[in-house]
Amino acid sequence: MTSTMSLEDLQRTMANAVMQPLTSDEQMQSHNSTGRSMTEIAGEFIQPNSRLSAFERLEIYNRQYWFRLQSAFAEDFPALHSVIGSARFEALTNAYLEAHPSRSFTLRNLGSKLHRWLSRNPHWAGPRLTLALDVVSVEWACIEAFDNAEHPPLTAEEVASINGESHLSLQPHVQLLPLSYPADDLVLAMHQRQRREASEAGARSEDESFEPVKRLHLRKRTTCLAVHRRELSLYYKRLTQPEYRMLVALRDGFTLAEALETAFTDSRLTAPHRIRLVQQWFTNWAELGWICTPQN
């Protein structure tokens, strides 16, 4: 080593080097983003040994860091992999992770910006952009639904006191999605396959793990979906458009009366029919524990 660093400087230098994107053939880059030689940087804080240079020793950490990110990303989005194919998925992964590297001690949030990024960079998805975005929405909703909080549901007394001016809220784990495709079918199939193949300890090759999406006969169809958690398991529930609109309105802070008006905008249903529907919805939501009081 040619210089002495403080611990903070050493940590920052090491982190910047390790987090630097790899080359197209998965090697450490010869220079960093400022044009400085990585051989020179590595020599400042790493000793070579009889087998490896300082550059080569640093490269091990650089590669393992990126391989771990790529692996975690692939685990979170297997259905996206299926939709766009392996080659395009690999390129998308590297481009996204370079634009939005991990900023947390956990990899849980790695894909949090993927939907917005892909919407702004559609060429990475290829010809199936709309389906790819739907799949990303569902796969990210699965992560949110599994991890997000759960508050005490409404009690019988609270239900009895509800009126048109009441403000209700949804459990944070309930994710509401407007989709152009019934993408939950694809995501469910791919996540089930992912779990099955994990238990088979790699009995199949990577390419065999992703069935082409065309075999699932997925056709474009407007779909309103809720992804939610119950007893540590994830579930998908298809919603009618009025039910979806009402849940969104309640989630967004509308009063009950305003949410009802939003739900049945332009509806030709009679008042008695609307009342029956709302009663059915609330009965179902109560059984699922979806409704709670707003949290301050």
Per-residue pLDDT tens digits for 82-123: 999 999 999 999 999 999 999 888 899 999 999 999 999 999
Comparison of pLDDT for 104 and 164, the residue scoring more: 164
Kindly state the average pLDDT of the residues 177-191. Answer: 93
pLDDT of the residue at 36: 95
Share the mean pLDDT of the chain.
91
Q: Is residue 210's pLDDT more than 70?
A: no
Q: Is pTM beyond 0.85 here?
A: yes
Amino acid found at 25: D
Category of 197 on φ-ψ map: left (φ > 0), alpha (ψ -120 to 50) or beta: alpha
CATH number given to 150-181+222-296: 3.90.930
pLDDT of the residue at 217: 66
Comma-separated ranges of CATH 3.90.930 domains in the chain:
150-181+222-296
Nearest to 124 by CA among 287, 116, 172, 269: 116
Q: Is residue 132's pLDDT more than 80?
A: yes
| pLDDT tens track for 27-85 | 999 999 899 999 999 999 999 999 999 999 999 999 999 999 999 999 999 999 999 99
Nearest to 111 by CA among 84, 127, 85, 135: 135
**Cα gap 40→17, rounded to integer Å:** 12
With a pLDDT cut of 70, the percent of the chain lying above it is 92
pLDDT of the residue at 189: 87
Cβ contact 168:118 at 8 Å? no
Cβ contact 169:291 at 8 Å? yes
Strands (E), the chain: 169-170, 175-179, 223-230, 233-239, 291-292
Kindly state the average pLDDT of the residues 121-127. Answer: 96
Which DSSP state fits 23?
-
Give the pLDDT band of residue 223 (cuts 50, 70, 90).
Answer: very high
pLDDT of the residue at 28: 96
